[in-house]
Structure 1
Amino acid sequence: MKIALITGANKGIGLETAKQLSKKGIFVYIGSRDIKKGKLIVDKLISEGFKNIKAIELDVTKIETIISAKKIIERETSQLDILINNAGISGGFDQSALTSSTEQFREVFETNLYGVVSVCQTFVELLKKSDKPRIVNVSTAMASLTLFSDFNNHTTRFVAYQASKTALNMYTINLAYELRETNIKINAVCPGYTQTDFTGHQGTSSVEQAAKRISKYTLIEQDGVTGRFFSEEYFGKENCPW
């Protein structure tokens, strides 16, 4: 049985991705900052017929919880096959290149970039024990330099959030480069503008559609791509610009 870990998975896209992977026979650890909330969600899922799901305490901004989660998974299984770095924050709706404070930027980067770095570095050895290890870093089309360097694009801009996700994309590229001689495939995936708490339940994609886009890249074959960015809602399935 394949083993997956999803950060920030007690609600929204992360939770739906957990459900979709579980239905495929994959055992899923739901990473949750609040373990009580995580366990309540798992109890509900079990009552609905899900079997391959367990809550695990994991706050990506607290290295001690990341290390603890790794030890638990290592004790309960011999490897990790899928890592989905889904946890993320927006940083609020009022963001400006001229007025947003460095503290605001730092808070967003702490979760959206530094948290991913910590999780990847902590779990990479468990991933190397898998036959087909996969990492998906949940990104966004809002991180695209191609899209937002067009000054005729008047889409609302969230500068701290966008900067953190653009940095995440570059980290994805470099992580894939450094692991190019291994069997680990790492890609950044935009789930689309999804109707969740994160967006105030606005958007053009359902959580089911978003989760399907993410889970797809956790199951690519060994001849699949690595170090790529995918935003199917905005760019289609191939040749997505960074």
Structure 2
Amino acid sequence: MTTTLITGGNKGIGYETARRLVAAGHTVWIGARDTGRGRAAADTLGASFVRLDVTDDASVASAVSTVRDEAGRLDVLINNAGILGDVTTPGDMTVDQLRTVYETNVFGVVRVTNAFLPLLRLAESPSVVNVTSGLGSFTLVHDPERVESQYPLAAYGSSKTALTMLTMQYAKTTPDVRFNAVDPGQTATEFTGNLGHDVSDGADAAVRIATLGSETPTGTVTDREGVLPW
């Protein structure tokens, strides 16, 4: 059975991804900072809960220990946790505003990924799925026909650019683990003010990659329609 951990899996796209992977037969762990909400989500879905704050070394180490003791390995890690930060232009943005977003969206992914690599390497076809965004795409933010061009999200957008490149660098240098980035697109959740397509559409790309098993590629960036322009 495939064991999958989803960070920020207690709501939104993470929750929908967890729901669908449970239905697909995965043993799903929902990682969340809030114990009450995380445990409630896990109980509703028939998943397991582990407290996990991606910005805290001790929390991540504790989560690794819990998953190791109860599952023995990790087949799929979905780095879904992310924050939007302040909607501002670079000229009005402070270093602290930028740092806050990067701490979760970039540094948190590295912290969690590196901590779980030993458990991933115990799996037959280990896979890491990083949730990126078209808001970090150079191509899409210059396309007036795309919604990504409409938002001055300097901190969030650049954090997803960094995350996507980190995913490619992991893929190039860690051949025994598959690394891919997926873009849910603008999805109607609390995160977007309920603007965009249905949450089931937003989860499509992550679910597809997470269920490929031994056929999982590495070093790709996709959305639900295919290769994402970058």
Smaller-chain TM-score range? over 0.9
Pair 1:224–1:71, CA change in 2 (3 A): closer
Amino acid at match of 2:126: P
Amino acid aligned to 1:136: V
* Contact 2:4/2:29, CA 8 A, preserved across alignment: yes
Question: Which residue in the other structure is 2:121 paired with?
Answer: 128
Contact 1:20–1:212 (Cα < 8 Å) also in 2: no
1:164 alignment counterpart: 159
* Change beyond 3 A, Cα 1:222–1:41: closer
* 1:99 aligned onto 2:87: no
AA partner of residue 228 (structure 1): T
Matched, 1:237 2:226: yes
Please tell me the residue identity of whatever aligns with 1:104: Q
Q: Are the equivalent residues in 2 in contact too, given 1:3–1:79 (CA < 8 A)?
A: yes
Kindly indicate whether the alpha-carbon contact (under 8 Å) linking 1:8 and 1:32 is maintained by their aligned counterparts in 2. Answer: yes
Contact 1:84 1:136 in 2 (8 A): yes
Give the superposed CA RMSD: 1.6
| Secondary structure in 2 matching 1:105 | helix
Deviation of the 1:29 alpha carbon:
0.6
Letter of the 2:37 counterpart: K
Among residues 174, 183, 193, which one is paired with 1:200 in the alignment? 193
Residues in 2 aligned to 1:73 and 1:34: alpha-carbon distance in whole angstroms: 18
C-alpha separation in 2, matches of 1:226 and 1:160: 27
Q: 1:82 & 1:112 partners in 2: Cα distance?
A: 19
Equivalent in the alignment of 1:71? 65
* Whole-angstrom CA distance in 1 between matches of 2:189 and 2:77: 22
1:50-107 deviation per Cα after TM superposition (whole angstroms, max 9, x unaligned): 43x01110000111110000000000122100100000000023x1111110100000
Alignment correspondent of 2:171: 176
Report the count of equivalent residues.
228
- Contact kept, 8 Å, 1:34 with 1:57, in 2: the verdict is yes
Equivalent residues in 2 for 1:28-39 (5 A)? 28-39=28-39
* Residue number in structure 1 paired with 2:51: 57
Matched letter for residue 197 of structure 1: E
1:186 aligns with 2:179: yes
Question: Which residue of the other structure, out of 75, 92, 112, is the alignment partner of 2:105?
Answer: 112
For the structure 1 residues 25 and 151, does the alpha-carbon distance in structure 2 shift closer, same or farther, using more than 3 Å as the test?
A: closer
Gaps of 5+ in 2: none
Contact 1:3 1:26 in 2 (8 A): yes
Residue type at the aligned position of 1:92: D
Residues 160-212 of structure 1, C-alpha deviation per residue, up to 9 Å, x if partnerless? 000100000010000011112x1x21111001110000001111x21111112
5+ residue gaps, structure 1: none
Report the CA distance between 1:228 and its aligned residue. Answer: 1.4
**Offset at 1:40?**
2.0
d(CA) in 2 for partners of 1:87, 1:210: 14
CA contact (8 A) 1:134 1:219 kept: no
Alpha-carbon distance in 1 for matches of 2:16, 2:136: 23
Q: Distance in 2 between matches of 1:76 and 1:191?
A: 30
Look up the SS of the partner of 1:4 in the other structure. strand
**2:76 paired residue number:** 82
8 Å CA contact 1:8–1:86 kept in 2: the answer is yes
Matched residue SS, 1:145 = coil
For 2:107 and 2:131, how far apart are their aligned partners in 1? Answer: 14
